[in-house]
């Protein structure tokens, strides 16, 4: 069974860049079976999808964050990463990484199914 | 962007009772691409239901999902002590994928 674990600084200064890594075990990040996503949850609030990536590098972003977000994958380390630039207090949240399954579009290409199957335990990032 | 509104905000019930949670979308959800999650304090969400009505692996059959279009329901047939938690719906038919604000199921 897949296991995911987030890592990165718990405290980031305003205007700086938040950087997190998700390490995958129990499976290969290069597998064609999965897409990989980031979701966040401000304290006491709901969930927000941030971005998704495939091992090939195909990326999908939430338009509300796209201008500040970069998601990347490192197949040699079985990791994928998130960078969020120009952070403010509003970016304070628990950040989760998760796996996603796929479907085929009309052209026969794999596309992520947008729900999240396996989740990491989450990591709290405070902007202050 | 599709906005999901969950009701009620809080549901106060006793173990053994039936829980009915509602999720209403601001526009029709493509292909009933709707998921439900359970989240307990200090834990990550856990996938319960996808495709509006398909239970995820290992999810007990007391959890069931239904609905289509803009109206969806999660039903817990008989509440067990471990079911008291916050439940979120999520649509993935249209990007950006969005979540409801959650319904808390608490012990009465």
Q: How far is CA A36 from CA A90, A111, A115, B85, in A?
A: 24, 12, 11, 26
Q: How confident is the model at residue A20 (pLDDT cuts 50, 70, 90)?
A: very high
Pairing of strands B10-13, B103-107: parallel
From the CA of B96, how many Å to the nearest CA of chain A?
A: 5
- The minimal CB distance from B88 to the residues A47, A114, A120 is found for A47
Residue from A114, A118, A123, A124 whose CB has the most chain B CBs within 10 Å, to mutate: A114
Test A115 with B35 for CB contact under 8 angstroms: yes
Strand, helix or coil for residue B27: coil
CB of B53 within 8 Å of a chain A CB? The answer is no
pLDDT of residue A128: 97
Test B45 with A116 for CB contact under 8 angstroms: yes
pLDDT of residue A103: 87
CB of B90 within 8 Å of a chain A CB? The answer is yes
User: Mean pLDDT for chain B?
Assistant: 97
| Spatial separation of the C-alpha atoms in residues A84 and A6, rounded to whole Å | 15
Q: How confident is the model at residue A6 (pLDDT cuts 50, 70, 90)?
A: very high
DSSP β-bridge partners for residue B68: B71
CB of A115 within 8 Å of a chain B CB? The answer is yes
- Per-residue pLDDT tens for B3-52? 999 999 999 999 999 999 999 999 999 989 999 999 999 999 999 999 99
Average pLDDT, integer, range B67-86: 98
Structure tokens given for A57: 């590098």
- The contacts of residue A108 (CB under 8 Å, 6+ apart) are none
Strand, helix or coil for residue A128: coil
Contact A73, A23 (CB under 8 A): no
Average pLDDT, integer, range A104-109: 89
Structure tokens given for B77: 């047939």
What are φ and ψ of residue A46, in 5° steps?
A: -90, -170
Cβ neighbour number for residue A121 with a 10 Å cutoff: 14
- Per-residue pLDDT tens for A58-103? 999 999 999 999 999 999 999 999 999 999 999 999 999 999 998 8
Structure tokens given for A127: 């902007």
CB of A95 within 8 Å of a chain B CB? The answer is no
DSSP assignment string, A5-62: EEES-SEE-TTS-EEEEEEEESS-TT-TT-EEEEEEE-TTS--EEEEEE-TT--EEE-
Rg over CA atoms, chain B: 13
CB of A34 within 8 Å of a chain B CB? The answer is no
pLDDT of residue B105: 98
Test B45 with A119 for CB contact under 8 angstroms: yes
Q: Which residue of chain A comes nearest to B94, CA vs CA?
A: A114
């Amino acid at each position: 069974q897949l296991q995911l674990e987030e890592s990165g600084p718990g405290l980031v200064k305003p205007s700086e860049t938040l950087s997190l890594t998700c390490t995958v075990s129990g499976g290969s990040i290069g597998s064609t079976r999965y897409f990989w996503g980031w979701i966040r949850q401000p304290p006491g609030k709901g969930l927000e999808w941030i971005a998704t990536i495939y091992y090939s590098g195909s990326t999908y972003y939430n338009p509300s964050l796209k201008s500040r977000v970069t998601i990347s994958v490192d197949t040699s380390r079985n990791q994928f990463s998130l960078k969020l630039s120009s952070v403010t207090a509003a970016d304070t949240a628990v950040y989760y990484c998760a796996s996603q399954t796929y479907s085929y579009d009309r052209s026969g290409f794999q596309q992520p199914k947008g729900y999240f199957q396996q989740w990491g335990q989450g990591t709290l990032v405070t902007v202050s | 962007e599709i906005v999901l509104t969950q009701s009620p905000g809080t549901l106060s019930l006793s173990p053994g009772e039936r829980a009915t949670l509602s999720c209403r979308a601001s526009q029709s959800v493509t292909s009933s691409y709707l998921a439900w999650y359970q989240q307990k304090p200090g834990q990550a969400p856990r996938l319960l239901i996808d495709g509006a009505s398909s239970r995820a692996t290992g999810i007990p059959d007391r959890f069931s999902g239904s609905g289509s279009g803009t109206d969806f329901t999660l039903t817990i047939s008989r509440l067990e002590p471990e079911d008291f938690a916050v439940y979120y719906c999520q649509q993935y038919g249209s990007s950006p994928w969005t979540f409801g604000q959650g319904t808390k199921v608490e012990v009465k």
